[in-house]
Amino acid sequence: MDQNSATDNRQRTTDNKVFSLNLDLIDYQKAWDLQQSLVAARVTNLIENDILLFLEHPAVFTLGRRGGLDNLLVSEAYLKEAGIPIIQVERGGVITYHGPGQIVVYPIMNLHTRRIGVKDFVAALEEAMLQTVGEFDIAAQRNPINSGIWVGHRKMGSIGIALRKGISFHGLALNVNLDLTPFSWIQPCGLQGVSMTSMKELADEDLPMDKVLEVLKDKLAAALGISYKKCRLADLERLMVG
């Protein structure tokens, strides 16, 4: 092993910061595949740092472990004509919608190493969203019926996670400037009498996505007790091959 490689290995071993990667707008399937690869790399310790992915998705409906097609209020043919796919995934929850204007965060984190239980982890993600919208003078709260953040009976931020050998994936989705129309095509969370809202709807104006993202990053760091190290996708891909 040459000196540079040895130095790099020491840095990887001693650096406990969380890699922060902005992916901008990325296809859901591509992001899902990336999560699978990153989780495998964390499980085998090819990547020794936890990772937070920040992104948006093109329009897509996803089904959690509890399914959700029975909560679809339009036909699958209607969605096909609209060009919106439906994808089954392994996160918790039922059916939800992702689209541009919604900030999605996928934390690839070793909860066992960090000694944080799933309940506390979800609470930390909720707290980060609550603190974020509060910075924009929006008052939201938790709801004992369903995870996420709420304004009355309207849901503004959703959480659905999965675990593989102690490594978390999937995560949170915060509605910022999202077009809420597709949510009217489903029964969100499988709950009756629930509708969705957004920061834009309550603020009555478009909000700067980059500013909301930076606030959310800061609030996540505080809630999870972490600090960030910026990285590129190429950096993670290099680590994944060993």
Catalytic residues: 189
User: CB–CB of 52/19 below 8 Å?
Assistant: yes
Beta strands in the chain (DSSP E): 18-25, 51-56, 60-63, 86-88, 95-98, 102-108, 141-143, 146-151, 154-164, 167-175, 195-196, 228-230
Domain 3-240 of CATH type 3.30.930.10 = yes
Q: Once rounded to an integer, what is the mean pLDDT over residues 85-98?
A: 84
- pLDDT single digits (tens) 199-240: 999 999 999 999 999 999 999 999 999 999 989 999 999 998
For residue 16, what pLDDT band results from cuts at 50, 70 and 90? confident
What pLDDT is attached to residue 2?
A: 43
pLDDT at 1: 38
Instruction: Provide, for the chain, the percentages of residues in helix, strand and coil under a 3-state DSSP scheme, each rounded to the nearest 5.
Output: 40, 30, 35
List, in order, residues 6 or more apart from 36 with CB less than 8 Å away. Answer: 169
For 44-64, the pLDDT digits (tens) are 999 999 999 999 999 999 887
pLDDT at 107 over 50: yes
Angstrom distance (rounded) from CA 213 to CA 204 = 19
Q: Would you state the structure tokens that stand for residue 36, as one six-digit string?
A: 């699978």
* Paired strand residues for 72: 186
Report the share of the chain in percent with pLDDT over 90: 74
Taking the alpha carbons at both ends of the chain, their separation in whole angstroms is: 14
> Tell me: the pLDDT tens digits for 75-89?
889 999 999 999 988
Q: Where are the domains of the chain?
A: 3-240
Question: Is the pTM for the entire model greater than 0.75?
Answer: yes
| Average pLDDT value for residue range 60-77 | 81
Find the mean pLDDT for residues 154-171: 94
Separation between Cα atoms, residue 176 and residue 157, nearest integer Å: 9
The alpha carbon of residue 136 and the mean position of all alpha carbons in its chain are separated, in whole angstroms, by 20
- Bridge partners of 25, per DSSP, are 56
DSSP state for residue 177 in the 8-state scheme: S
Is 90 exceeded by the pLDDT of residue 97? yes
Task: Say whether pLDDT at 28 is over 70.
Answer: yes
